[in-house]
Amino acid sequence: MINSKPFLKWAGGKRQLMNDLIARLPNSVTKTKKIATYIEPFIGGGSFFFYLNNNYEIGKSVIIDINPDLVLAYKTIKLHVKEVIERLENIQKEYLSLVSTEREKFFYLKRMLYNETQKGIDYAHYNPNWIERTVLIIFLNRTCFNGLFRQNKKGEFNVPFGRYVNPKICDKENLFEVSKSLKKTVILCGDFQLSEDYVTKGTLIYLDPPYRPLKQAASFTSYSKEGFTDEDQKRLADYYKRMDNLGANLILSNSDPHNSDINDNFFESLYKKFFIKKVRANRNINSKGTSRGSISELMITNY
């Protein structure tokens, strides 16, 4: 039995949509509790991946993300979890022994170290620096404002200090469980299309791309903050059709343009042949993220 959950808080985390996702699993999966091959090409924090690992028997899985630091952390936890825990426990002890002003200084020092050492990282080949970098990623994620992991275009982590009284920096039990979940998992860094080589008949694929931004009055552009454009959404729809032809079972989530423009049928026209279901989620509903409300989101399956 595995009992894992995301080890990072990630923008666009899917915890809220979990029940809707479970309800949309193929009947064969629900009945047998087995998934021969699972692929998640936009893994982020991986909430659904971990849920499935806890509750289903998965033959093998492939996870992908374009963020090299995130992928480095997954790979390091898969193979060197003990070393990560040891270092993280030390950093936690040191941090929690400090008073608030010193903690703030400590945070900014680690943030600077994280950003300054980025250039020297060899993302393609494992080396012991990966352990320190994974430790820093988790530390910064647990102690920064809002507990999110945001990097600018240059890949620098730029979230300010967050004032948590007693943050759990090292969740040892969960890190071990995460490592177990990753044992039979191929972890790749790059574009979602890398997954094509692994798809065969019956493969379950969950796609959670950066959401297409809702139209915000006249200043609307098709560029999302993460640089995933309408062209990328179209490229993804083409991939979806190709994988459908191969006999894969696909679930895709995205924003519902009808929240801001009832005539915007972007996804209806891209996914004409498929099943589009609307589900509800609580999200920030203005551009500054200061007000929350329930909005509709899309879940698109090919079965």
Ligand X SMILES: C[S@@+](CC[C@H](N)C(=O)[O-])C[C@H]1O[C@@H](n2cnc3c(N)ncnc32)[C@H](O)[C@@H]1O
Cβ 247 to ligand X, closest distance in Å? Answer: 23
Cβ 109 to ligand X, closest distance in Å? Answer: 26
Give the chain's radius of gyration (CA, Å).
20
Cβ 74 to ligand X, closest distance in Å? Answer: 11
Instruction: Answer yes or no: are the C-beta atoms of 266 and 237 closer than 8 Å.
Output: no
Q: Find, among 72, 22, 1, 85, the residue nearest to 43 by Cα.
A: 72
Please report which residue ranges of the chain form alpha helices under DSSP H: 18-23, 27-32, 47-55, 68-96, 100-116, 129-143, 172-182, 230-245, 266-270
Q: Which of 85/189 has CB closer to ligand X?
A: 189
Q: Find, among 41, 39, 38, 53, the residue nearest to 6 by Cα.
A: 53
- Residues ≥6 apart with Cβ < 8 Å to 192: 41, 42, 64, 66, 207, 209, 236, 239
Q: Is residue 70 helix, strand or coil?
A: helix
Q: Which of 86/230 has CB closer to ligand X?
A: 230
Cβ 151 to ligand X, closest distance in Å? Answer: 9
Q: Which of 62/135 has CB closer to ligand X?
A: 62
Cβ 94 to ligand X, closest distance in Å? Answer: 29
Contacting residues toward ligand X, per CB under 6 A = 10, 12-14, 41-42, 44-47, 64-67, 191-192, 208-210, 226, 228
Residue nearest to ligand X (CB): 44
- Residues ≥6 apart with Cβ < 8 Å to 42: 64, 65, 192, 207, 208, 209, 210
Partners of residue 283 on adjacent β-strands: 293
Residue 57 buriedness (CB in 10 A; 0-12 / 13-18 / 19+):
exposed
Query: What tokens were used for 127?
Result: 């080396």
229 secondary structure, DSSP code: -
Q: Which of 14/133 has CB closer to ligand X?
A: 14
Q: Which of 66/144 has CB closer to ligand X?
A: 66
Q: Is residue 151 helix, strand or coil?
A: strand
Cβ 144 to ligand X, closest distance in Å? Answer: 16
- Residues ≥6 apart with Cβ < 8 Å to 199: 37, 39, 205, 243, 246, 248
Q: Which of 92/233 has CB closer to ligand X?
A: 233
Cβ 212 to ligand X, closest distance in Å? Answer: 11
Q: Which of 8/85 has CB closer to ligand X?
A: 8
Give the orientation angle of helix 129-143 with respect to helix 100-116, to 10 degrees. 140
Cβ 131 to ligand X, closest distance in Å? Answer: 22
Q: Which of 160/227 has CB closer to ligand X?
A: 227
